[in-house]
Chain A
Amino acid sequence: MVADGNTVATEAWGLHVQVRVALDAIELDVDWRPESDHVAIVGPSGSGKSTLLRALAGLEPGAQGHVSFGDDVWLDSDSGVYTPAWERRVGWVPQDALLFPHLSLRENLAYAGAGQPDVERMAASLFLSDLLDRRPRFLSGGERQRVALGRALLSAPRMLLLDEPFSALDRPLRSEVAAMVRAFARDSGTPIVLVSHDEHDAELLADERWVLVAGRLIADGASA
């Protein structure tokens, strides 16, 4: 079901998203079948990017339509199929990190059940080793984003859903963290869907780019 690195990505990851979600002002209405397994969706704020990710993660119970990933059907309104978020196993990294405030960094990273050696290794690759026993409120925005990323990667995700994951990182750190995420995705064969309003972020991680405008998704060949 997941690419083994040699097969063509389209066959392997087979994400098909056809959903409608009512938002405050607009309706998100997409019929989407990405080809590459590193996809970026760009668009202005308010276009529905975060909602699309949430619908993929199983956090929009109001979503109507059909979502399938490989052989798994996650949503099919017609037949009443709805896979809850905890069974989809997507690594969702929300824009504002949402680290659990009552847990230390170490506990945040290990939340999904990762062992201490893995936690330490992940912390090192995200330059967080010195901070492991702190509480989230003593961290900067960039540090939080990296912890959130590490927490998602350590949950053995079947797909990464990154919502503006580098917005609080400065440029040099951005490239390093992006390279680390890319390596993780390559080694584990995990597809990535990234949303950002920043063209540059999209270039760092994605092979294929889509543009979301007012709830509609349009293919964009510019960076393919």
Chain B
Amino acid sequence: MVLAASSLQDVLPAVARAWDARGGVPVRFNFDATSRLAPQILRGALADVFVSADDEWMRWLEERGGVDGPSIRRVATNQLVFVVPTGAPDLPGDPGSIARADLARIALAGENVPAGRYARAALESVGAWSSVEPRVLRGGSVRGTLEWVARAEADGGIVYRSDALAEDRVSLAFAFEGEAFPRPAYSGAVATRTEFRGTAEAFLDFMSGAEAEALFSASGFGLASAGGPVAQTPAAASALDASPGLDPWSAVRLSLIVALSAVLLGLVPAVAMGWLLARKDFLGKSFVSMIVMAPLVVPPVVTGFLLLSVLGRDSALGGLLATMGLPIPFTLLGATLAALVVGFPLYVMAIRAVFDTVDRRFEEVSWTLGVPKAPTFLRISLPLALPGIAAGAVLAFARALGEFGATVVLAGNMEGETRTIALAVYSLLESPSGRGATWILVIASVVLSLVALLGFEGLTRWQRRRMEDHHGR
């Protein structure tokens, strides 16, 4: 099992096929951001070979006994490039022009992902970081970053040359060339816990050999020799902890804002839908019910993807919303929408259940007293269902607090904008020194969820008591 930086996911399988053809044992891969793979290896992920996209993560892992120091070697190099969606007018021509205002959203890989760290260093070296920072969309891996540019969700992004070549929906604007800019370099090593040390060594040799080198360079990678020796100085942990912007309280605040807005935004639709499903029979009712309930069983990431397809800037509806000044993807509104869609089934289910228990004859009495349907609904049905509606809102609130999958796809992981508690915890997993912040978030999350559940219990009991009222004492 080879755990490798996600920017290698096109070239390494080709290398493995060549290795296979030479009679090597079949190789399996796990591609992800280096910053996620390195901690996973320490926590016991199955690994024989690790290929890191930067030296600091490799050293970090070596210091902690995750890889064998002597086996570390240079595998290939890469280059940072600035890409824009294909067809974009007026390509920026050099690093200085990134500061231009018309590039409203610039996609970079996450703070601790090597590509994200390289990109920040490159922008800092031309003095553009402070003006770019507020416009940054943080992707997970470099592949996610590339996808955002390809979908035109971002006006531009910084990725590796090899990624830019593999994707025809983006155009290369310029490369960060020269001594002033960091040179991304990959290093490989044998994982300490491997059971196949010999094979792992052999595959590493093959990967840094002449045949593999040809494959790397055909895919846009640079020669291993261009990267120089793998850095020998162990990295200070703080060098990898590029998350000074991650304020746990900001994530807690954002979670509350997102969950509350989702609940308020969904109130009227949820009451209407719950009432409709409880009280009306109509053609296609089971179909409507199925669509509403779907987010409960569909993986949230899939829900997020579908939302992005419908509401993304490259879709008709999303484009329209964006021109109206209501862009959905990668905004607070998007995070709210994702939380709402995923929480909506619980919301509707609770409200439907309460309308099922409210005796319809109360409404009938009201009609015979001369009060038509709509005012009867407002004066009788709604107040009687109120505790149950509140219980549904609390349940949806709790679900919205915990939302991760749909949010990360539709809204990204942007500090102060869409990075809620769940996303912040996920980001901190790849930040070696974020333990304090992590615990604040974990405790806040557990406390909020328990309070919400307690509220749900109380409201449900209130509803039950109210319904028992007219059965005599």
Chain A contacts to B: CB under 8 angstroms: 54, 57-59, 84-92, 94, 96-102, 111-113, 135-141, 144, 151-152, 155, 161
Across the interface, which residues of A come within 8 angstroms of B64, CB to CB? none
A85 to B403, CA, bound (A): 46
Q: How far is the CA of A213 from the CA of B359 in the complex (A)?
A: 28
Contact of A155 among B369, B379, B380, B384 (CB under 8 A): B369
Q: Which of the 9-residue segments B246-254, B268-276, B465-473 touches chain A?
A: B465-473
Among A85, A139, A140, A141, the residue within 8 A (CB) of B367 is: A85
CA distance A220 to B411 in the complex (A): 76
Is the beta-carbon distance between A89 and B365 smaller than 8 angstroms?
no
Complex interface: chain B residues within 8 A of A101 (CB)? 362, 384, 466-467, 469-470
Contact assessment for B361 and A85 in the assembled complex, using a CB-CB cutoff below 8 Å = no
Contact (Cβ within 8 A) B470 A97: yes
B368 touches A102 (CB 8 A): no
Query: A86-B370, A155-B370 are contacts. A102–B364 as well, Cβ < 8 Å?
Result: no
Minimum-distance CB pairs A-B, first 6: A101-B469, A85-B367, A137-B469, A92-B368, A112-B369, A86-B372
User: What's the least CB distance linking A102 to chain B, in Å?
Assistant: 5
- The interface on chain B, measured as residues whose beta carbon lies within 8 A of the other chain's beta carbons, has a size of 25
Question: Which label, helix, strand, loop or mixed, suits the secondary structure of the B interface?
Answer: helix
Chain B residues, CB < 8 A from A111: 366, 369, 371, 379
CB <8 Å contact, A100 and B367: no
* A94-B365, A98-B359, A112-B371 known, 14 other contacts, Cβ within 8 Å: A86-B367, A89-B368, A98-B361, A98-B470, A100-B362, A100-B365, A101-B467, A101-B470, A136-B469, A137-B469, A152-B368, A152-B369, A155-B370, A161-B368
**Residues of A with C-beta under 8 A to B470:** 96-99, 101, 136-137, 144
In the bound complex, what is the Cα–Cα distance between A34 and B393 (angstroms)?
53
Q: What residues of A have a CB within 8 angstroms of the CB of B369 in the complex? A: 86, 111-112, 151-152, 155
Q: Please, how many angstroms separate the alpha-carbon atoms of A97 and B368 in the complex?
A: 13
Give min CB distance, A62 to chain B, whole Å.
Answer: 13
Q: Is the CB of A135 within 8 A of B469?
A: yes
CA distance A152 to B469 in the complex (A): 20
Find out whether the CB atom of A98 lies under 8 angstroms from the CB atom of B368. no
Give chain A nearest CB distance to B354 CB in angstroms.
Answer: 13
Bound: A141/B371 CA distance, A: 25
Interface flag for B234 (CB, 8 Å) = no
Q: Mark B366-387, 1 if CB is under 8 A from A, else 0.
A: 1111111100100110011000
**Contact in complex: A58, B367 (CB < 8 Å):** yes
Kindly count the residue-residue contacts between A and B in the assembled complex, taking CB atoms under 8 Å apart.
83
With contacts A100-B380, A102-B384 taken as known, whether A85 is within 8 angstroms of B368 at the C-beta atoms is yes
The chain B residues found within 8 Å of chain A, CB to CB, are 359, 361-362, 364-373, 376, 379-380, 383-384, 466-470, 472-473
CA distance A100 to B364 in the complex (A): 11
Residue in B365, B368, B473 whose CB lies within 8 Å of A58: B368
Residues of A within 8 A of B467 (CB): 101
Q: Is the CB of A88 within 8 A of B384?
A: no
18 residue pairs from A and B, CB less than 8 Å apart? A54-B364, A85-B368, A86-B367, A86-B369, A86-B373, A98-B361, A100-B365, A100-B366, A101-B362, A101-B384, A102-B466, A111-B379, A112-B371, A135-B469, A137-B473, A141-B472, A144-B470, A152-B368
User: For the complex, what is the distance from the CA of A151 to the CA of B371, rounded to whole Å?
Assistant: 13
Nearest CB in chain A to that of B366: its residue: A111
B473 proximity list for chain A (CB < 8 A): 137-140
For the complex, what is the distance from the CA of A112 to the CA of B364, rounded to whole Å? 13
User: Which residues from chain B contact A85 at a C-beta distance below 8 Å?
Assistant: 364, 367-368
Cα A137 to Cα B472 with chains together (Å): 6
CB of B276 to closest CB in A, whole Å: 18
Complex Cα gap A58–B371 (Å): 13
| Residues of A with C-beta under 8 A to B366 | 100, 111
The answer to whether B368 and A59 touch across the interface, beta carbons within 8 angstroms, is: yes
Which residues on A sit within 8 Å (CB–CB) of B383? 102
A113 and B370 CA atoms in complex are apart in Å by: 9
Q: What residues of chain A lie closer than 8 Å to B359, measured between beta carbons?
A: 98
Instruction: Determine how close the nearest CB of chain A comes to the CB of B461; give it in whole angstroms.
Output: 15
Option from A88, A141, A144 in Cβ contact (under 8 Å) with B368 = A88
Could you tell me the distance in whole angstroms from the C-beta of B434 to the nearest C-beta in chain A? 50
